[in-house]
């Protein structure tokens, strides 16, 4: 395995996908395209001869990963519940994307969030990038590099979805406001990337950030769905 080369190959795949997504190449099939991304990332791991330990997929650490992930799930659920109940913060959860029927909500959490978002992103950022980055430069340099890319990864989707959130409606109507929202989201997702990286390093399992990532996205979406009821 050549970690720097595999890191660069993974980053190149993500850049190409993000550009294609940003220009609307996938149209209404972004979720299916994400499945394709997952397959390509798996091929990068195979071609790069990335072992299970580097990816965080060793079976002996799955229990540790699940325990750490469930701790984050409990914390996220508590924070989101408080945010939903407090009038000053409940507006953040008022998102037009959550105005869907019950079965669509379940599909979005199970497929749109878990399969089409969490799995490819975690394989990419906390699996391939963090794993090979740690091999090449050590744990925290690897975490900084993968988390910086994770933050930049969210520029395109932020631009495409900021208008759907009622709390951001005023900011998204002007160019300076949009820039502020994008920079803020890049900063937040960079910090989230560091937290997910720490979970992966601490538990030695990719399962920990997978569960944590599903918690942050899924719990927030379900809470937004409840707020819209």
CB contact at 8 A, 197 and 126: yes
Which letter, b or e, does each residue of 72-88 get, where b requires 16 or more Cβ atoms within 10 Å of its Cβ? bbeebeeebeebbeeee
Our measurement of the distance from residue 103's CA atom to the centroid of its chain's CA atoms, rounded to an integer in Å, reads 23
Q: What integer pLDDT is reported at residue 161 of this predicted model?
A: 63
CB contact at 8 A, 178 and 163: no
Average pLDDT over residues 81-99: 71
The rounded mean pLDDT for the chain is: 88
Which letter, b or e, does each residue of 99-122 get, where b requires 16 or more Cβ atoms within 10 Å of its Cβ? eeeeeebeebbeebbbebbbbbbb
- 3-state SS of 53-65? HHHCCCHHHHHHH
Instruction: State both tokens at 29.
Output: 């099939």
Assess whether pLDDT exceeds 60 at residue 165: no
**In the structure, what pLDDT confidence band is assigned to residue 188 with cuts at 50, 70 and 90?**
very high
Q: How far is the C-alpha of 84 from the C-alpha of 90, rounded, in Å?
A: 5
pTM of the model: 0.89
Assess whether pLDDT exceeds 60 at residue 163: no
The values of phi and psi at residue 154, to 5°, are -90, 5
Angle at 66 between CA 95 and CA 121, to 5 degrees: 50
Size (the chain), residues: 229
Q: What integer pLDDT is reported at residue 174 of this predicted model?
A: 64
**In the structure, what pLDDT confidence band is assigned to residue 204 with cuts at 50, 70 and 90?**
very high
Our measurement of the distance from residue 94's CA atom to the centroid of its chain's CA atoms, rounded to an integer in Å, reads 20
Instruction: State both tokens at 19.
Output: 């550009």
Average pLDDT over residues 12-30: 90
Unique residue bearing structure tokens 């580097």: 54
The values of phi and psi at residue 95, to 5°, are -120, 125
Q: Which of 44-48, 87-91, 146-150, 179-183 has the lowest mean pLDDT?
A: 87-91
């Amino acid at each position: 395995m050549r970690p720097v080369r595999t890191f660069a190959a993974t980053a190149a795949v993500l850049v190409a996908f993000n550009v294609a997504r940003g220009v609307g190449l996938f149209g209404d099939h972004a979720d299916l395209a994400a499945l394709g991304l997952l397959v390509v990332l798996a091929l990068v791991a195979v071609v790069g001869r990335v072992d299970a330990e580097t990816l965080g997929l060793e079976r002996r650490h799955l229990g540790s990963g699940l325990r750490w992930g469930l701790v984050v799930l409990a914390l996220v659920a508590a924070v989101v519940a408080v945010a939903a109940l407090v009038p000053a913060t409940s507006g953040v959860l008022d998102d037009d994307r959550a105005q869907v029927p019950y079965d669509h909500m379940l599909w979005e959490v199970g497929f749109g969030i878990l399969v089409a978002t969490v799995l490819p992103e975690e394989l990419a950022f906390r699996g391939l990038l963090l794993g090979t980055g740690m091999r090449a430069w050590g744990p925290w340099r690897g975490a900084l590099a993968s988390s910086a890319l994770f933050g930049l990864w969210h520029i395109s989707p932020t631009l495409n979805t900021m208008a759907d959130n009622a709390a951001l409606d005023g900011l998204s109507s002007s160019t300076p406001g949009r820039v502020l929202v994008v920079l803020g989201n890049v900063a937040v997702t960079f910090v989230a990337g560091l937290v997910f990286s720490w979970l992966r390093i601490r538990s030695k399992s990719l399962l920990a950030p997978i569960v944590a990532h599903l918690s942050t996205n899924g719990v927030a979406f379900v809470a937004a769905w409840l707020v819209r009821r």
